[in-house]
Amino acid sequence: DGMGNLRVTKKGIRLEGISEFLLPLYVKEIHSRKDSPLVLQSDRNVTVNARNHMGQLTGQLTVGADAVEAQCKRFEVRASGGGKVLFSADEDEIVIGADRLKVTGTEGAVFGHSVETPHIRAEPSQDLKLESPTRSLVMEAPRGVQVNAAAGDLKATCRKELHLQSTEGEIFLNADTIRLGNLPVGSFSSSSSPSSSAPRQTIYELCVCPNGKLYLSPAGAGSTCQSSSNICLWS
C-alpha cells in the first residue's frame, strides 16, 4: 500500500512527516490532517501560481523573507464569518470594508491628493484638529459644509487672513454672546481736546468701512460712524 512515508489510500496519497520533492508535483488538492496545520517551507521563498488553460500566469502569491507579494487583477481579504470584504485592491481603487479604519502611527495618515468623505470625526473625548502647516486648508461641498462641536469649543486660527464668504446667501452668527476683540476705535475729527471731567466712554457703536473693516465709534444720541470714520482712511 505504499513505501515509507508514502501511502496510497482510497482518498488518495498520504504522506507522513516531512516530505521533499525534487521535481514538480501535480495534484488537484492538498489537505493537512484535521489536528495539524499544513506547512509549506522553502529556504528562499514559497510561491503559489495560478494559470489558465493556455498555461498563462493569471495570479501569483509569493511569501519571501522580506515581503509578501500578490500579483493579480484583484486582491481581496474577507472576514471568516459571513465573507464580508474587509479589503480589496485593483488598478482602479482600493476599498476598505471594515467598520473602522484606525491609524496608530504618530504621524497619522498622509494623502498626496484630495480626500473625499461624508463625515470626519475624532475619537470620543478627543479633539478634532484639521491643520495645514505650510499651505491653505480647503473644505468644499456642493451643498454646504457643516462644522459641529456638540460638547466643546470651535476654534479657527490662521497666520494671515480668515475669509467668510457667501456668494448667494448670508452669513448667520447665532449665539448668546458674540465678541469681536481688538477692534480699533474711531475718533472724532475735532481740534478740541477732550475734557478731563468728561465721563468715561463705556458704550460704543459698531461701524463698518467701505472696504469691510469693522471699527468702534463712541455711541451718541444718533449714529456717530460718519463723524469718526477717519480710521477708514488709513485702514
Beta bridge partners of 59: 50
Q: Compute CA distances 47 → 19, 61, 142, whole Å.
A: 17, 6, 49
Count CB neighbours of 98 within 10 A. Answer: 12
The SS3 call for residue 171 is coil
AA identity, residue 138: V
| Domains of the chain by residue range | 4-94
Q: What is the pLDDT of residue 192?
A: 46
110-163 pLDDT per residue, tens:
888 888 888 888 888 888 888 888 888 888 888 888 888 877 888 888 888 888
| Closest by CA position to 17, among listed 29, 33, 1 | 33
22-31 pLDDT per residue, tens:
888 888 888 8
| Closest by CA position to 163, among listed 212, 205, 231 | 212
Does position 235 have pLDDT exceeding 80, yes or no? Answer: no
Alpha-carbon torsion angle 46, 52, 56, 58, nearest 10: -60
- pLDDT band at residue 64 under the 50/70/90 scheme: very high
Lowest mean pLDDT among 142-146, 182-186, 223-227: 142-146
Q: What is the pLDDT of residue 92?
A: 92
Does position 53 have pLDDT exceeding 50, yes or no? Answer: yes
77-113 pLDDT per residue, tens:
999 887 899 999 999 999 999 888 888 888 888 888 8
- pLDDT band at residue 4 under the 50/70/90 scheme: low
What angle (nearest 5°) sits at the alpha carbon of residue 205, between those of residues 200 and 210?
Answer: 135
Query: What's this model's pTM, rounded to 2 decimal places?
Result: 0.54
Q: What is the pLDDT of residue 197?
A: 59
